[in-house]
């Protein structure tokens, strides 16, 4: 569950946060430890909300131009403040770094599914 979906219940005292699943504490809940601080050193699950990809034959300069536009938007103080208020930090990774994130998450979820012996029905 993300902070943005739980914040109403946390603020009303209906839920209590035990840890964040990110590497670091989040701004709206500075007193809540990150998962590693809570004793789970190898656990981490940052969620992300938006990713952009382009067809393989897209001219090479276009993805970089799009990435620059999105990075500029993510650096906007107004947008940063709005995102921070809901517990979201803007990262803005592109290219090989984004592909690496996707691969890392794919591999981790595949491992969890295998180890838990989940089966599709």
* 8 A C-beta contact, residue 7 and residue 27: no
Q: How far apart are CA 38 and CA 43, in angstroms?
A: 10
Instruction: DSSP letter for 23, please.
Output: S
Q: How far apart are CA 107 and CA 99, in angstroms?
A: 12
Nearest to 96 by CA among 57, 53, 65: 53
Name 26's Cβ contacts closer than 8 Å, sequence gap at least 6. Answer: 3, 20, 32, 87, 89
Q: What share of the chain is helix, strand, coil (3-state, %, to 5)?
A: 45, 0, 55
pLDDT tens-place string over residues 68-109: 888 888 889 998 888 877 767 777 777 788 888 889 889 988
pLDDT above 70 covers a percentage of the chain that reads 98
Q: Where are the domains of the chain?
A: 1-47
What CATH number was assigned to the domain covering residues 1-47? 3.40.190.10
- In the chain, the largest separation of any two C-alpha atoms, in whole Å, equals 52
Structure confidence at residue 91 (pLDDT): 73
pTM over the 0.75 mark: no
Q: How far apart are CA 14 and CA 96, in angstroms?
A: 41
């Amino acid at each position: 569950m993300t902070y943005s979906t739980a914040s109403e219940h946390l603020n009303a005292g209906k839920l209590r946060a035990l840890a964040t699943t990110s590497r670091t504490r989040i701004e709206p809940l500075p007193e809540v430890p990150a998962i590693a601080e809570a004793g789970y050193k190898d656990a981490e699950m940052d969620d992300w909300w938006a990713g952009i990809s382009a067809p393989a034959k897209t001219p090479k300069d276009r993805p970089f131009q799009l990435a620059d536009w999105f990075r500029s938007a993510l650096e906007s103080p107004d947008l940063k403040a709005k995102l921070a208020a809901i517990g979201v930090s803007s990262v803005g990774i592109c290219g090989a770094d984004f592909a690496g994130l996707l691969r890392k998450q794919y591999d981790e979820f595949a491992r969890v599914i295998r180890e838990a012996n989940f089966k599709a029905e």
